[in-house]
């Protein structure tokens, strides 16, 4: 009976959705950083010169 209750419980699904969403955000920000790495490096170098 506990297994059936666990499978019908939708509370755990929201946790998985949040983890997947957070992972997608991390991958997205990492991709943006890698795409603009050269530009950001040049801009920060010119600020501190």
* Residue-level pLDDT at 21: 92
The token pair at 41 is 């490096």
- Max Cα–Cα distance, the chain, nearest Å: 68
Q: What is the pLDDT of residues 1-49, one digit of tens each?
A: 787 887 677 666 677 888 999 999 999 999 999 999 999 899 989 988 7
DSSP 3-state of 13: helix
* Residue-level pLDDT at 13: 67
pTM of the model: 0.57
* Residue-level pLDDT at 5: 80
The token pair at 28 is 């997205």
């Amino acid at each position: 009976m506990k297994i059936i209750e666990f499978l019908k419980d939708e509370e755990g699904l929201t946790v998985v959705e949040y983890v997947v969403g957070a992972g997608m955000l991390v991958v997205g920000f990492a991709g943006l950083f890698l795409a603009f790495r050269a530009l950001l490096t040049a801009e920060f170098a010119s600020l501190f010169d």
